[in-house]
Amino acid sequence: MSDGALSQEEIDSLLAGLDGGPAPGGAGPAAAPQAAARSGSSVPPQVAQAFKAILDSAIGTQSQNLSMITGLPVTLGSPVVEGANRDGLLRDLPEEVLAIGVTFEGSLPGDHAFILAKDAALRIASLANKDDSLAELDEMATSAVQECVSTLTGTEITLISEKTGNRNIQAGVAEGAFGPKAMARLPSGDFIRATYQMQIGEEAPQRLVEVFALSFVRDVLASMGGGLPASQASMGGGMGGQAFGAAQMGGMQGFGGMAGAQMGGMGGMGFPGGMMGGPSFGGMNPPNVQPVQFANLQMQQASPESGNIGLIMDVYMEMTVELGRTRKLIKEILGMGEGTIIALDKLAGEAVDILVNHKLIAKGEVVVIDENFGVRVTEIVSPMERMADMG
């Protein structure tokens, strides 16, 4: 199971355990009393261990991601993965935390978040912004950590897509806030908790906690089973608790305030009784169906655009980093030889240009990753600047 692959028997056992019934061979949820007592969760340890194998396979890449963001060597240890619930997790967190939610969207949706203590979050923000004077998790510092979390989540989506063969998994916008741990938004009911030991340079290790909705974990494991159905019922997919500085919302609300009422766009697809009217569905009376179809189109105007964008997500584009430019006469170019020094139009230490298909989209600074050059994005060029550059 080192590559995260599960056999059919393992998948059957995991799904049986989640439904509360006995697994093949007589083993059921009662097989893990110690883990359940420690975490306050009834999630079978087999489920946590199966998902741990997936997260373990991304440890190397995630360590490199953190190293590029912070500019220092970062070692991310193999996570401790276990079932948990809100009360059990809150007992194990410091009084104040930075909770950043990034929901999984698409065909495998689910709530998901990273939770860091203040010191760990400030350290990442300081290194990412190259500002050792940061003392509070203000908007700029929180934004830096959100970018870090988005990168880590993107790596996980790529990995899960490869293992499940499902290319329709996306990440929502990272949204976070710093405050008392009791105000952190967490999945309701039982969920999966992964606790990493993160060491930056020679500093003391810091804890990085990641939580996944149990419904998402279940669907991922089912998808890896080769044709097994997705979850039969919602198991902790909604978000409980309360957002920082916001009123308490229902259990089906995800990060960023997306209320469960958005599911109303699916109304009419099941054609409930009384909606069709007149002849049966097999009858020749299409005008009776038009009002229902019209309502669905109004509720889902943005979906075609999203689907069209998805069609080009796998298209490669040329990305280049430009150190600087200059203009030379032909006779000067012909007179070049070994040792010729060419002066560019950029000052020493000035940001380099990042171009996609020869169009300026961002600016950054040159970094060294092991023995290779890289570039850290420091600024995204605004649309107005892009238009001016094209002119």
- Among the four given CATH numbers 1.10.10.60, 2.60.40.3500, 3.10.20.70, 2.30.330.10, the one describing domain 319-390: 2.30.330.10
Mean pLDDT per block of 10 residues along the chain (391 residues) reads 55 53 40 46 87 94 93 94 92 94 92 95 92 88 92 93 90 91 89 95 94 94 63 40 38 38 39 41 48 44 52 82 89 87 85 88 87 87 69 54
The burial of 66, by beta-carbon neighbours within 10 Å (0-12 exposed, 13-18 middle, 19 or more buried), is given as buried
* pLDDT at 6 (0 to 100): 59
pTM over the 0.75 mark: no
User: What H or E segment, with its residue span, contains residue 123?
Assistant: helix 118-129
Q: Is 8-240 a domain of CATH 3.40.1550.10?
A: yes
**Quick one: pLDDT at residue 1?**
41
**Residue 317 pLDDT:** 86
Please give the pLDDT value at position 368.
Answer: 86
Cβ atoms < 10 Å from Cβ of 1: 13
Provide the residue ranges of all domains of the chain, joining segments of one domain with +: 8-240, 319-390
